[in-house]
Amino acid sequence: MTLSVAIIGSGPSAFYTADALVKSGIDARIDLIERLPAPFGLIRYGVAPDHESTRKVSRSFDKTARGASLSFFGNVEVGRDVSLDELRQLYDAVVLAVGAPLDRPLGIPGSDKKGVFGSAAFVGWYNGHPDFRDLDPDLKVKAAAVVGVGNVGLDVARLLVRSRAELEATDMPEYAVEAIVNSEITDVYLLGRRSAAHAAFTIGELREMGELEGASPVVDAASLPTSFDDVPEEDRRIKAKMVDMLRGFASLPQDRPKRVHFRFNAAPREVLGGDRVEGLRVERTRVEGGRAVGTGETYGLPCGLVVAAIGYRSPVIQGASFDERNGLYVNRGGVIDAGLYAVGWAMRGPSGVIGTNKIDGQTVAKHIVENLRAGAGKPGRDGLAELLKRRGARPTSYADWGRIDAAEIARARQGAPRGKFTTIAEMLALLETG
Ligand SMILES: Cc1cc2nc3c(=O)[nH]c(=O)nc-3n(C[C@H](O)[C@H](O)[C@H](O)COP(=O)(O)OP(=O)(O)OC[C@H]3O[C@@H](n4cnc5c(N)ncnc54)[C@H](O)[C@@H]3O)c2cc1C
């Protein structure tokens, strides 16, 4: 009997799960249900536009999507067009691969002021995500603070100081290129609560900060740790390498027109200003037992833009028990409940690299295969298509995505890989044309 599996989402975790199910050899019809007309999740809307080579992983997802047993239902949002309970009635197995698209709030006084953004929103804006294309951040400010010292923080800082030529070679939408190029930002401050030994940068991303055309990294060598005792033993070597690289930055000439300042042991305590952000009050910290502890010494950091890159949460979906504290679905190794699973960021929170999701997909596919051996045989795809039709929804197929993809490539500015459509209406309008 053919088993029907619904995977909610179409980011890496969804595709790796689908691929593992196909490779398991079970007779299954697998449907990817995605709220946007375009697939690939954060590969398209998160990964930095100047890291085009990272996005090439979508080629292998494309191959999976074209497989005989797969179908794509784009422009279908679970919770709006169909509920989780309905999907569970229609499918033998349902997998939550919805990622963690919500910003963890900064949670300090003043963080509701204009000019303070979470990185999901800010990154979504410069990547042309339909939810955020109208964010319209005011970049006519001299300085920006990016809170959080992981790769997302580095992405945001780097893109804010990129030159026109560098940005125009990417698929960053025109509105974002113009806003960044015409911005008055000369200084970006990257703030980490703990010491540099606790920063979550990867070496490759950090190295790029020393190779920017128009900006110099600024590091106070005296602020860097010489001991790594409070870092887990298995991480010490890589953290020491990272701190060495930062030390190398400290001795570089600051000869470029813009600067990215690395500030460690710096915890933002308050967003200053009136209606709009005018600065941050920052407290110096020391690390005790791996945690940042305030010293009571504070200083003001003038800035007109704050981007908090401090983590993400999954959305609450009715029918799936939610772990409020960690912002993800309650699960054991990907199993939420009989026939209900979670993978990727929805399963383990926002950490790791794209490839980490492959292991999740394989694990959950194994659970599905084991649990479904008994056989079920729910209506699956046909039932969903029928329900969506009744509701007047407009699902988009993978062939539709092929048309959007081709049109985006055709309208790219010179030297850029594509010119993204940044509204759902534009994508649907394209599909209406003959
Ligand atoms: C800014 C940023 C940059 C990154 N850069 C890199 C990098 O350079 N290299 C790297 O290795 N990793 C990078 N990552 C990490 C990588 O993107 C993640 O590991 C990966 O995308 C997680 O996959 P996922 O499938 O769990 O979630 P996502 O990729 O977020 O996919 C979730 C999908 O579910 C859809 N969805 C959500 N809710 C619903 C709903 N209710 N109904 C239907 N569909 C829904 C979303 O639209 C989305 O398409 C980056 C992450 C971020 C945030």
Q: How far apart are CA 279 and CA 116, in angstroms?
A: 10
Using the 8-state DSSP alphabet, how is residue 423 labeled? S
- Closest protein CA for atom 37 of ligand 1: 98
- Closest protein CA for atom 39 of ligand 1: 98
Average pLDDT over residues 13-40: 97
What percentage of the chain has pLDDT greater than the value 70?
99
pLDDT level of residue 375 (50, 70, 90 thresholds): low
- Closest protein CA for atom 3 of ligand 1: 47
Q: How far apart are CA 281 and CA 212, in angstroms?
A: 29
Ligand 1 is surrounded, with C-beta below 6 A, by 8-14, 33-36, 41-42, 46-47, 51, 54, 77-79, 97-99, 101, 123, 152, 155, 344-346, 352-354, 357
The number of the ligand 1 atom at minimal distance from the alpha carbon of 355 is 11
In 3D space, the residue among 431, 422, 426 whose CA is nearest the CA of residue 135 turns out to be 422
Select from 98, 119, 314 the residue to mutate for testing ligand 1; criterion: most ligand atoms less than 8 Å from CB.
98
The confidence score (pLDDT) of residue 157 equals: 98
Residue 416 near residue 49 (C-beta atoms within 8 A): no
Select from 42, 47, 119, 354 the residue to mutate for testing ligand 1; criterion: most ligand atoms less than 8 Å from CB.
42
CATH of domain 102-312: 3.50.50.60
The number of the ligand 1 atom at minimal distance from the alpha carbon of 41 is 49
Kindly tell me if the per-residue pLDDT of 373 is higher than 70. no
The number of the ligand 1 atom at minimal distance from the alpha carbon of 40 is 49
The confidence score (pLDDT) of residue 364 equals: 97
Select from 40, 47, 155, 170 the residue to mutate for testing ligand 1; criterion: most ligand atoms less than 8 Å from CB.
47
The confidence score (pLDDT) of residue 137 equals: 98
pLDDT level of residue 1 (50, 70, 90 thresholds): confident
CA distances from 272 to 111, 269, 285, 299 (A): 9, 10, 19, 12
Distance of CA 110 to the CA centre of its chain: 25
Average pLDDT over residues 411-420: 97
Locus of tokens 């649990």: 371
Where are the domain boundaries for CATH 3.50.50.60 in the chain?
A: 102-312
Where are the domain boundaries for CATH 3.40.50.720 in the chain?
A: 3-101+314-432
What percentage of the chain has pLDDT greater than the value 90?
94
> Quick count: other Cβ atoms within 10 Å of Cβ 254?
11
∠ CA(212), CA(213), CA(219), 5° rounding? 40
Q: How far is the CA of 108 from the centre of ligand 1 (A)?
A: 26
C-alpha radius of gyration, the chain, whole number: 23
Q: How far is the CA of 320 from the centre of ligand 1 (A)?
A: 19
Kindly tell me if the per-residue pLDDT of 22 is higher than 70. yes
pLDDT digits 0-9 by tens, 112-170:
999 999 999 999 999 999 999 999 999 999 999 999 999 999 999 999 999 999 999 99
pLDDT digits 0-9 by tens, 166-216:
999 999 999 999 999 999 999 999 999 999 999 999 999 999 999 999 999
Could you give the 3-state DSSP secondary structure of residue 59?
helix
Kindly tell me if the per-residue pLDDT of 60 is higher than 80. yes
Kindly tell me if the per-residue pLDDT of 2 is higher than 90. no
Lowest mean pLDDT among 54-63, 79-88, 222-231, 317-326: 222-231
CA distances from 394 to 80, 306, 420 (A): 12, 38, 20
Query: Higher-confidence residue: 57 or 230?
Result: 57
Kindly tell me if the per-residue pLDDT of 372 is higher than 80. no
The confidence score (pLDDT) of residue 374 equals: 59
Q: How far is the CA of 223 from the centre of ligand 1 (A)?
A: 34
Which CATH architecture group holds 3-101+314-432?
Answer: 3-Layer(aba) Sandwich (3.40)
Kindly tell me if the per-residue pLDDT of 434 is higher than 80. no
Q: How far is the CA of 99 from the centre of ligand 1 (A)?
A: 5
Quickly list H helices, 209-355: 236-250, 345-348
Mean pLDDT of the chain: 96
The confidence score (pLDDT) of residue 290 equals: 86
pLDDT level of residue 230 (50, 70, 90 thresholds): confident
Could you give the 3-state DSSP secondary structure of residue 352?
coil
Kindly tell me if the per-residue pLDDT of 237 is higher than 70. yes
In 3D space, the residue among 6, 173, 160 whose CA is nearest the CA of residue 91 turns out to be 6
**Please, which contacts does 402-411 make with residues 24 or more away whose CB atoms are closer than 8 Å?**
403/430, 403/431, 404/37, 404/38, 404/430, 404/431, 408/171
- Closest protein CA for atom 1 of ligand 1: 46
